[in-house]
Amino acid sequence: MDTAFDPSLQHWLDLAGIFVFAISGALLAVRRNFDVFGIAVLAAVTGLGGGLFRDVVIGAVPPAAFTDLGYFLTPLLSTVLVFFLHPVVERINKAVNVFDAAGLGFFCVTGTLKAHEYGLSLTSSVVLGLATAAGGGVLRDVLANEVPSLLRWDREIYAVPALVGSSAVALLIHFDAVRPSTTLTAAALAFLLRLLALRYNWRAPRAWHRRSAKADTEAAGPDGNLGL
């Protein structure tokens, strides 16, 4: 079988993405002072949400999350690890961002590959790769009562790194160059781009000739945190 769509490769990339995304969800739950059940729920939703959306859209039903025990056990493992880590509050937010960036990288690759495997065009596969990568993080933020990073004007670019990673995979497919090493490189590209965005505060442009900064203050509310 072509290594581009090697089920074993996709399976392990999926599990890696689930693990790091679940870690980010569990860490956010700790930051929000959730109990152990809340930590487990947020870890599972973050780790599995994007993949569930992908599988439903492409008709891969029942979704892999309901047919492979590893997909259930991986978020639980993340929950246990985070639950017993000695909390270092000032480092939690940074850890959430790093693991979220890693999950973004893995899932934009697996989402694009699996979408194309199920017959979607390269363009549609890229879009679904982006949705797979961002879906878990969006659900995580919504359940934690935060505005999703994907929609925050005051946060570093989130969708762009996933879009770059998905596009890189589409190019690999087009040139028949998908290999374990090249797919991991595409995931690393999205991961590093997201980390660089966090490091250097790269943000997407807003509307041309938009209203004055007064609207930003009004949207943020009296505490300046956009209602958070």
42-71: pLDDT as tens digits: 999 999 999 999 999 999 999 988 999 999
| Mean model confidence pLDDT for the chain | 85
CA atoms within 13 A on the CB side of 80: 5
Three-state helix/strand/coil letters over 34-103: CCHHHHHHHHHHHHHHHHHHHHHHHCCCCCHHHCCHHHHHHHHHHHHHHHHCCCCHHHHHHHHHHHHHHH
Domain ranges of the chain: 3-202
Structure tokens at 202: 């790269």
- For the cut 70, the answer to whether the pLDDT of residue 219 exceeds it is no
- Maximum C-alpha span of the chain: 59
Q: Which pLDDT score is estimated for 53?
A: 94
SS3 (DSSP) at 188: helix
Residues 6 or more apart whose Cβ sits within 8 Å of residue 57: 115, 128, 131
Q: How far apart are CA 227 and CA 91, in angstroms?
A: 23
pTM of the prediction?
0.82
Evaluate whether 99 touches 155 at the Cβ level (below 8 Å). Answer: no
Q: How far apart are CA 108 and CA 112, in angstroms?
A: 6
Structure tokens at 138: 């969006």
154 or 133: which leads in pLDDT: 133
Three-state helix/strand/coil letters over 122-173: HHHHHHHHHHHHHHHHHHHHHHCCCCCHHHCCCCCCCHHHHHHHHHHHHHHH
